[in-house]
C-alpha cells in the first residue's frame, strides 16, 4: 500500500516540489482570510475610512482661526487693518474684547487663538509719524496652528495703509525693497496640506494593516494548536513564510488601488510620475512591512505580544518618518532612527512620484533601502522560525 | 499516486526495525520528563505506548518525529537519524496530535487538499476526494472541520495522517474523549492499516486498547518500565494473584493493604484482586484470611491492569 521510501524522497525534493508546498500554504491562508469576514471587511474599510477621515481632517496650515479684537481707536487705519486681516482668510474676527484683561482671558481660555489690540490714538500717532505699536497676541502653544497665520500677518502690514497714506502722509508709506525676492513653491504651489498628507497616509495605512496581518499569522497557529501538526509535516520555514505573506501582498495591492483611486477622486491628487513605478515600489513597500510583521510573529509568544510589538514599531513610523513632522527638522540621531524605518523611504518614494514626477533613478537609494529591509526581515524570520517545539 | 513500488523491491531496502532509539532524555526547565528511554519497534506492528498522564508519552513521540530535540540519546526512525535527518523523517511519518490540529476554519476537503499538497502528492484533489470517500464523508466534504463532532474530528485527523501513505503512524491518545463505538471503528481501521504494512505507535491510557496492540511499552515518570507482548509483560511482572469473592470486600481490602507481602489490592467488579511480587510471601501473609473466610479465595491470573498499577506504585516508591 505505502509508497517506497525513495519514491517519496524523489517526489518531495527540488524546486518544483518546494513551490507546490508554498502553494499549499498560500491557498490555505487565502481561504482562511476569505472566511474571516470581519478582517476581510476591515481590509477594505480601513484604508477608505482613514483616508477620508484624515485626508479631510488634517490641515497643517489652518485658516479661519478665531480672533478677538480690542479696538480703542476709531480711525480709518484701525478699520482698514482689521479688513486686511480678514482678507487673509487666516483670521476670523469673532469676538470683541471689552478690556485688556478680557482679551487675555479669551486667549487663556482657548476661545480665541489671536487677540488684536489697536490702542487709543493709533491713527493720530501714526499720522504724526510716532510709529505707534499695534499689538497682536497669538496663542503659540501650538506653533503649527498659529505659524502660518503669523507669517501672513507680517506680509500684510507692509501695504495695509498704502491707501490711507497719501498726500502729505505719503512719506510714511513703506518703501519697496531695493530688490525683488522670487519664491517658487514647487510641487505644491498653493501649499495645500492634503497634497502632502494623502500620499503619506497611503504609507501609514499600508504599514499598519500589513504589519498586523502577518504579525498575527504564526502566533495564531501556535494558539490554535495547528502549529504542532504543521511542524510535523515536510514543509520548510521559508515555504510557510512565503505562503503566508503572498495572500497579503494581494490584499495590500487591493488597498493600494483603493487609496490611489480615492486620492484621485476625493482629493484630486494626481500621479505626476509613472503610475507603474509607483505600483511596483508600493508593492515592494508592502512586502517590506509584511516581512517585518512576520518576523514579529516568529518572536512573539502569543497574539497579544505580536500586537504590542507591532504598535511599538508603528509609533516611530508615524513620528520619525517625516509623515507628521518635517524629517529634516529632526536632530541627527532622530534622522538616523528615521532612516531605518521603511516608511521614511516610502514617503520619499510616494511623494516623489505622485507630486514631483520622480523617476526610478531619483529614488534608487530609497528603493535599495526597502529591498535591504525586506531581505533582512525575511532572513531573521526564517532563522527565528522555531522548527521544533523545544 | 505510485502504486506499491515497495513490494517489488527487496525487503531489506527498508529496515525491519522502524524505531530504534537508545537513551533518549529530555528535560523542561530542569525537570526531567523522559529519562534514558530505549525502545525498538518492528515494522508492521501496532505498538501501544501506555502510561499515566504526564508520564512522558507525548514528549517521546515528539522526539521521534523531530518536533523536539532530545537532550541526550540517539537513534533512528525508519533508518534515518532522529537528530540530523528529521526533515526526511517527516515525509514518511504521519503524526496525529492529541489535540485536534487540523484547521477549524477550513472545510474537510480543503484540509485534506492542504495535506496532500504539503506532501507533494501528484493529484491533491483526487487524493482528497479518495480520502473523503474512504472516510464516508462525501456528504460533509464542504463542512468546516471545526463543526464536526469529536468522533468525526478524530476520524478526519486519522484520514489526514494516512493520506500521504506514511511508513509510520504516530498517534498520541487518539481515542481520548471518543465514544466506544467510534473507538472500536478506529481500532479496526488501525488494524487494517497495520495489516497493509504500516507501523503504528499509539499512546493511550485505556487498558482495553493496550490489549489490542501487538506489543506494548509502559512508561511512568519518564521511564520505560517494561515492554513486550501483553503476555510477556504479564509474565515478566511475576505477580502472584488471588481473586477474592464474597461479603465485605471493602473491609477485607483495608486489612490486606497493611499486610507485608501484599503489594496490590484492587476491586474488579464483584471481586477483589490481591497481588504480590513474591508468591511465597503473599501466601504467608494471606494464609490466615484465606483459611478463616468468609470470602472465597481462588488463585487467579494477573491482568495487565494489575501489572501496570503495580509498576506505577513501584516506580512511585523509587521517585517519591
User: CATH number of the domain that B260 lies in?
Assistant: 3.30.70
* The pLDDT value given to residue B34: 93
* Residue whose C-alpha is closest to residue A338's, from A352, A351, A323, A360: A323
Q: What is the pLDDT at residue B6? A: 41
Q: Cβ distance A230 to A244 under 8 Å?
A: no
Using a CB-CB cut-off of 8 Å, the residues of chain B touching A8 are: 91-92, 164
On whether residue B312 sits in a domain, the answer given is: no
Residues of A with CB under 8 A from a CB of B: 1-9, 11-12, 17, 20-21, 23-25, 27-28, 31-32, 35-36, 224-229, 231-236, 388-390
Say if strands B46-50 and B215-220 run parallel, antiparallel, or are unpaired: parallel
Within a domain: B43: yes
- Structural domain total, chain B: 2
The span from the CA of B199 to the CA of B190, in Å, is 9
Residue A253 CA to residue A255 CA, distance in Å, equals 5
Over its C-alpha atoms, chain B yields an Rg (Å, rounded) of: 23
Residues 33-62 of chain B whose Cβ lies under 8 A from any Cβ of chain A: 62
Q: How far is B290 from chain A (nearest CA, A)?
A: 55
Same domain, B129 and B31: yes
The least confident of A209-213, A359-363, B313-317 is B313-317
Confidence band (pLDDT; 50, 70, 90) for A157? low
Residue B9 pLDDT grade (very low, low, confident, very high; cuts 50, 70, 90): very low
What ipTM score was computed for the predicted complex, to two decimals? 0.83
Chain B residues in contact with A234 (beta carbon < 8 A): 87, 90-91, 118-120
- pLDDT at B318 (0 to 100): 54
User: Any idea of the CA torsion for A14, A20, A26, A28, to the nearest 10 degrees?
Assistant: -130
Backbone torsion region of residue B127, taken as left when φ is above 0, otherwise alpha when ψ lies between -120 and 50, otherwise beta? alpha
Interface contact B119-A36, CB threshold 8 A? no
pLDDT band at B5 (very low <50, low <70, confident <90, very high): very low
pLDDT of A48 over the 70 cut: yes
Identify the H or E element spanning B291: helix B279-292
Task: Give per-residue pLDDT as tens, A233-245.
Answer: 999 999 999 999 9
Mean per-residue pLDDT, A344-369 = 95
Q: How much is the mean pLDDT over chain A? A: 89
* Partners of residue A390 in chain B, C-beta under 8 Å: 68-69
Q: What is the pLDDT, as a whole number, of residue A373?
A: 94
Mark whether B256 and B171 lie in a shared domain: no
Q: Would you state the pLDDT for residue B11?
A: 43
Q: How far from chain centre, in Å, is Cα B174?
A: 9
Question: All 3 cell numbers of residue A306?
Answer: 505580536
User: Would you state the pLDDT for residue A211?
Assistant: 92
Whole-number percent of chain B with pLDDT over 90: 46
Question: A138: Cβ–Cβ under 8 A, 6 or more apart, which residues?
Answer: A113, A114, A146, A149, A150
Query: Where a domain ends, among B209, B233, B257?
Result: B233
- In this complex, do B165 and A7 lie within 8 Å of one another by their Cβ atoms? no
Nearest to A21 among B66, B79, B118 (CB): B118
CATH code of the domain covering residue B211: 3.40.50.300
Picking from A23, A9, A136, A126, the residue whose alpha carbon sits closest to that of residue A76 is A126
- Alpha helices by DSSP H, B1-105: 57-64, 86-92
Q: Given a cut of 70, is residue B27 above it in pLDDT?
A: yes
Closest chain A residue by Cα to residue B167: A2
Per-residue pLDDT, averaged over B237-266, amounts to: 81
Q: Which of A24, A228, A234 sits opposite B101 (nearest CB)?
A: A228
Residues on chain A touching B93 (C-beta within 8 angstroms): 232
Query: Using 50, 70 and 90 to split pLDDT, how confident is the model at A257?
Result: very high
Domain shared by B40 and B178, yes or no: yes
Q: Least CA distance to B106: which residue of chain A?
A: A32
Residue B151 falls inside a structural domain: yes
pLDDT of residue A4: 60
Give the per-residue pLDDT at A28: 96
What are the C-alpha distances in Å from A63 to residues A57, A150, B142, B272? 13, 11, 59, 95
All residues at 6 or more sequence positions from B46 whose CB lies less than 8 Å from its CB, including other chains: B190, B191, B194, B200, B202, B212, B213, B214, B215
Extract the C-alpha cell encoding B238.
511475576
Could you tell me if B165 lies within 8 Å of chain A, comparing CB atoms? yes
CA distance B65 to B58: 11
- State the Cα–Cα distance between residues A110 and A106, nearest whole angstrom: 6
Q: Which helix (H) or strand (E) holds B94?
A: strand B93-96
- pLDDT, residue B64, reads 92
**Are B229 and B251 within one domain?**
no
- Give the structural domain span for B272: 240-301
Mean pLDDT (whole number) for B123-138? 93
Q: Which residues of A touch B91 (CB under 8 A)?
A: 8-9, 12, 234
Using CA atoms, how far apart are residues A331 and A337, in angstroms rounded to an integer? 10
Minimal Cα–Cα distance from A247 to chain B, Å?
Answer: 16
Q: From the list A7, A229, A234, which residue is nearest B5 (CB)? A: A7
pLDDT at A172 over 80: no
| CA-based nearest residue in chain A for residue B80 | A5
Is the same domain home to B183 and B265? Answer: no
Q: How far is B151 from chain A (nearest CA, A)?
A: 18
Closest residue in chain B to residue A27, using alpha carbons only: B114
- Mean pLDDT of the B60-78 span: 93
Q: Dihedral of the CA atoms A290, A291, A295, A296 (nearest 10)? A: -30
Q: Which pLDDT value is given to residue B307?
A: 86
Residue B96 confidence (pLDDT) above 80: yes
B156 plus B184 within the same structural domain: yes
Is residue B64 assigned to a domain? Answer: yes
Q: B195 and B214 share a domain?
A: yes
Percent of chain B as helix, strand, coil, to the nearest 5: 40, 30, 30
Query: A181-200 burial, b if ≥16 CB within 10 A, otherwise e?
Result: eeeeeeeeeeebebbbbbbb
CB pairs under 8 A between A and B: 118
Q: B212 and B245: one domain?
A: no
List of residues 6+ apart from A155 with CB closer than 8 A = none
Distance of CA A315 to the CA centre of its chain: 12
Judged by a CB distance cut-off of 8 A, whether residue B5 touches chain A is: yes
Residue of A nearest to B171 (CA): A229
Flag whether pLDDT at B317 surpasses 70.
no
Contact across the interface for A8 and B92, Cβ inside 8 Å: yes
A12 and B119 within 8 Å at the Cβ level: the answer is yes
User: Would you state the pLDDT for residue A199?
Assistant: 92
pLDDT value of position B14: 61
B93 occurs within a structural domain: yes
* Domain spanning A65-172: CATH superfamily: abc type-2 transporter like domain (3.40.1710.10)
Distance from CA of A241 to the nearest CA of B (A): 14
On whether both B155 and B292 belong to a single domain, the answer is: no
Amino acid at each position: 500500500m505505502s509508497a517506497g521510501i525513495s519514491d517519496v524522497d524523489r517526489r518531495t525534493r527540488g524546486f518544483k516540489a518546494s513551490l507546490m508546498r508554498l502553494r499549499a500554504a498560500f491557498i490555505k491562508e487565502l481561504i482562511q482570510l476569505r472566511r474571516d469576514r470581519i478582517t476581510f471587511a476591515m481590509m477594505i474599510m480601513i484604508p477608505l475610512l482613514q483616508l477620508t477621515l484624515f485626508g479631510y481632517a488634517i490641515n497643517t496650515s489652518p485658516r479661519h482661526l478665531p480672533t478677538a479684537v480690542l479696538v480703542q481707536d476709531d480711525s480709518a487705519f484701525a478699520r482698514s487693518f482689521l479688513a486686511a486681516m480678514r482678507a487673509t482668510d487666516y483670521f476670523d474676527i469673532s469676538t470683541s474684547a471689552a478690556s485688556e484683561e478680557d482679551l487675555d482671558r479669551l486667549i487663556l481660555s482657548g476661545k480665541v487663538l489671536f487677540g488684536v489690540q489697536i490702542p487709543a490714538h493709533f491713527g493720530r500717532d501714526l499720522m504724526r509719524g510716532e510709529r505707534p505699536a499695534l499689538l497682536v497676541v497669538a496663542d503659540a502653544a501650538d506653533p503649527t496652528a498659529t505659524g502660518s497665520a503669523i507669517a501672513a500677518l507680517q506680509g500684510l502690514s507692509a501695504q495695509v495703509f498704502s491707501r490711507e497714506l497719501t498726500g502729505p502722509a505719503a512719506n510714511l508709506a513703506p518703501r519697496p525693497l531695493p530688490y525683488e525676492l522670487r519664491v517658487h513653491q514647487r510641487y505644491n504651489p498653493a501649499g495645500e496640506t492634503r497634497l502632502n498628507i494623502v500620499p503619506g497616509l497611503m504609507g501609514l495605512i499600508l504599514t499598519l494593516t500589513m504589519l498586523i496581518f502577518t504579525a498575527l499569522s504564526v502566533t495564531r497557529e501556535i494558539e490554535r494548536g495547528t502549529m504542532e501538526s504543521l511542524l510535523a509535516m515536510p514543509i520548510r520555514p521559508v515555504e510557510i513564510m512565503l505562503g503566508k505573506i503572498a495572500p497579503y501582498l494581494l490584499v495590500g495591492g487591493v488597498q493600494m488601488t483603493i487609496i490611489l483611486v480615492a486620492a484621485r477622486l476625493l482629493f484630486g491628487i494626481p500621479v505626476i510620475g509613472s503610475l507603474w513605478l509607483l505600483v511596483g515600489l508600493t508593492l515592494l513597500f508592502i512586502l517590506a512591512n509584511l516581512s517585518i510583521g512576520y518576523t514579529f510573529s516568529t518572536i512573539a509568544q502569543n497574539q497579544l505580544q505580536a500586537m504590542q510589538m507591532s504598535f511599538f514599531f508603528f509609533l516611530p513610523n508615524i513620528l520619525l518618518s517625516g509623515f507628521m513632522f518635517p524629517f529634516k527638522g529632526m536632530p541627527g540621531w532622530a534622522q538616523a532612527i528615521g532612516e531605518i524605518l521603511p516608511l521614511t523611504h516610502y514617503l520619499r518614494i510616494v511623494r516623489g512620484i505622485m507630486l514631483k514626477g520622480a523617476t526610478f533613478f531619483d529614488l534608487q537609494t530609497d528603493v535599495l533601502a526597502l529591498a535591504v529591509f525586506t531581505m533582512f526581515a525575511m532572513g531573521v524570520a526564517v532563522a527565528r522560525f522555531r522548527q521544533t517545539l523545544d | 499516486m505510485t502504486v506499491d513500488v515497495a513490494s517489488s523491491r527487496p525487503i531489506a531496502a527498508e529496515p525491519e526495525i522502524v524505531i530504534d532509539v537508545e537513551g533518549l532524555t529530555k528535560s523542561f526547565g530542569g525537570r526531567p520528563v523522559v529519562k534514558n528511554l530505549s525502545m525498538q519497534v518492528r515494522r508492521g506492528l501496532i505498538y501501544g505506548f501506555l502510561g499515566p498522564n504526564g508520564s512522558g508519552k507525548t514528549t517521546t513521540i515528539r522526539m521521534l518525529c523531530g518536533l523536539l530535540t532530545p537532550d541526550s540519546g540517539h537513534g533512528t526512525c525508519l533508518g534515518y537519524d532522529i537528530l540530523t535527518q528529521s526533515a526526511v523523517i517527516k515525509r514518511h511519518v504521519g503524526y496525529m496530535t492529541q489535540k485536534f490540529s487540523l484547521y477549524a476554519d477550513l472545510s474537510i476537503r480543503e484540509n485534506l487538499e492542504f495535506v496532500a499538497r504539503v506532501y507533494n502528492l501528484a493529484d491533491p484533489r483526487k487524493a482528497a476526494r479518495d480520502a473523503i470517500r474512504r472516510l464516508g464523508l462525501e456528504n460533509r466534504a464542504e463542512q468546516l472541520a471545526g463543526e464536526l463532532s469529536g468522533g468525526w474530528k478524530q476520524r478526519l485527523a486519522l484520514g489526514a495522517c494516512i493520506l500521504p501513505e506514511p511508513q509510520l503512524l504516530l498517534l498520541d491518545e487518539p481515542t481520548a474523549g471518543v465514544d466506544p463505538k467510534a473507538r472500536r471503528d478506529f481500532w479496526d481501521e488501525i488494524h487494517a492499516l497495520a495489516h497493509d504494512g504500516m507501523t503504528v505507535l499509539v499512546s493511550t491510557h485505556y487498558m482495553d486498547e493496550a490489549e489490542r496492540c501487538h506489543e506494548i511499552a509502559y512508561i511512568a515518570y519518564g521511564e520505560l518500565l517494561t515492554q513486550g507482548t501483553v503476555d510477556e509483560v504479564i509474565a515478566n511482572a511475576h505477580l502472584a494473584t488471588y481473586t477474592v469473592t464474597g461479603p465485605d470486600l471493602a473491609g477485607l481490602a483495608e486489612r490486606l493493604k497493611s499486610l507485608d507481602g501484599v503489594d496490590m489490592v484492587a476491586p474488579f467488579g464483584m471481586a477483589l484482586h490481591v497481588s504480590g511480587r513474591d508468591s511465597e510471601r503473599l501466601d504467608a501473609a494471606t494464609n490466615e484470611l484465606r483459611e478463616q473466610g468468609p470470602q472465597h479465595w481462588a488463585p487467579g491470573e494477573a491482568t495487565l491492569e494489575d501489572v501496570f498499577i503495580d509498576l506505577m506504585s513501584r516506580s512511585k516508591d523509587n521517585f517519591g
